[in-house]
Structure 1
Amino acid sequence: MIMNQKLFMEEGEQLTDKGRYQRIIGKLIYLSHTRPDIAYVVGVVSQFMHQPQEPHMEAVMRIIRYLKGTTSHSVLFKSNGHLDTQVYTDADWAGDKSDRRSTSGYFTLVGGNLVTWRSKKQKVVALSSAEAEFRGIARGLTEILWVKKLLTEIGFPPSKPNRILCDNKAAIQISENPVQHDRTKHIEVDQNFIKEKIETGVVELPFVRSEDQLADILTKAVNGRIFAKCLGKLNVGDPTVQLEGDVRK
């Protein structure tokens, strides 16, 4: 997706073939279950299935061209000597131009390998970037609890707290601060949920620098350098090239 591009319903814009658009989007949604690199953009273009316009179809064709050039891309799993679980969670505040809702996303890694991901527009409008990030943390926490339960059931219970990595210090402070302020009353349920898991040692909430935040590509369109860097750290790409790189090291 073009960096900083905002798709929305433009008044007077020419409509495109609705049936064709819906068929392509249906296939892309199915494909996004194994291609985390298109999760965000597929979520964006799928919002216009009821009345697609030409700019929306152009964005879809851009996805198709990208997929044509990356047919060998996949998620590579490697043994890293541990089964630590961590979640990268991020949110793009008021990123949707039509209704100003935020988009949140997370990547879940077990043993350094990517296992789950999600990019989804939030259901309500966030009043600040901290609130948007905070809601993203809550969604990431529910995912990490599910992964923790699954690992325990198959005989690999976590030996240390799971980590939720966020790049917003205000959201982290709200999660850890037991005092209920007026400005956070509307997110009090999420706050108590997160605080309880931190106090019981289920999760840790360390700060991660924005340049190291891998979930950026699930919340906004970024430039090619950042996109490639994030995919490289997630072991998403041509597995042959990745394995050859490991051999050379």
Structure 2
Amino acid sequence: MGRWARCREEVEGGISQPRKYTLDLDLLKETGMTGCKPVDTPTEYNVKLSNVNNGVPVSKERYQRLVRKLIYLSHTRPNISYVVSVVSQLMQAPYEEHMTAVERNLQYLKGTPGKGLLFRKSNKRGIEAYLDSDWARSAVDRKSMSGYCTFFCGNLVTWRSKKQGVIARSSAEAEYRAMCLGICEEI
């Protein structure tokens, strides 16, 4: 059996790396969330997390361990990469609201264990890129977030979510900076 046929069989049969890692390798077991209720999105709408908080601190080691596992999983699950980038910025002083965001992400993963990257043969030719920015998203330093994804022959090949280096004065400036980042990737 060829490599691609074996890969297709594993994905269609439900034995994919993201699924196995999410369900079998202590990601949900470690948090005691194997019986949790799945959710439809990896984060709540319009939630802004900051490192300035008067909330209850949580175990730094446990938080960092969970976020490291999510970082590893985000290599095959680009749909969680934005949330993971946000919670990874808060690893030095995590609070309850930060852990709640991580747990929400785990609930999302429980509901979507078979999701991940799948490369298919396509008649579609060429490169497509999509990009966006979120003006002044960070509550800490007011910097904007840029993100892009690139498709080659209809398959997702690169993606990135990154905080912009400077504070944009307008949403238009944030969009231009995002376009620059995306175009540099295309070139």
1:210 corresponding residue in structure 2: none
1:25 corresponding residue in structure 2: 67
Matches of 1:111 and 1:27, distance apart in 2: 30
Q: TM-score, normalised by structure 2?
A: 0.74
1:222 corresponding residue in structure 2: none
Residue identity opposite 2:148 in structure 1: Y
Q: Greater CA radius of gyration, 1 or 2?
A: 1
Matches of 1:72 and 1:86, distance apart in 2: 25
Matched, 1:58 2:77: no
Q: Deviations 1:70-126 (Å, cap 9, x if unpaired)?
A: 111122222331331011010000111121110000010001111111111111101
Matches of 2:167 and 2:161, distance apart in 1: 16
Answer yes or no: is the 8 Å Cα contact 2:125–2:154 preserved in 1.
yes
Matches of 1:69 and 1:82, distance apart in 2: 31
2:172 corresponding residue in structure 1: 130
Superposition RMSD in Å:
1.1
Matched, 1:83 2:125: yes
Matches of 1:59 and 1:12, distance apart in 2: 17
Residue identity opposite 2:135 in structure 1: W
> Is the partner of 2:114 in helix, strand or coil?
coil
Residue identity opposite 2:134 in structure 1: D
Return 5+ residue gaps in structure 2 as ranges.
1-42
After TM superposition, give the deviation of residue 60 of structure 1 in Å: 0.3
What percent identity do the matched residue pairs reach? 52
2:54 corresponding residue in structure 1: 12
After TM superposition, give the deviation of residue 18 of structure 1 in Å: 0.1
Worse-matched range after superposition: 69-78 or 23-32: 69-78
Candidates 75, 80, 95, aligned match of 1:38:
80
Q: Number of matched residues?
A: 145
Matches of 1:21 and 1:7, distance apart in 2: 15
After TM superposition, give the deviation of residue 25 of structure 1 in Å: 0.7
Residue identity opposite 1:100 in structure 2: R
Higher RCO, 1 or 2 (CA under 8 Å, sep at least 6)? 1
Candidates 133, 141, 144, aligned match of 1:102:
144
Matches of 2:95 and 2:164, distance apart in 1: 23
Closer, same or farther: CA 11–70 of 1 in aligned 2, 3 Å: closer
> Is the partner of 1:61 in helix, strand or coil?
helix
Candidates 47, 55, 74, aligned match of 2:89:
47
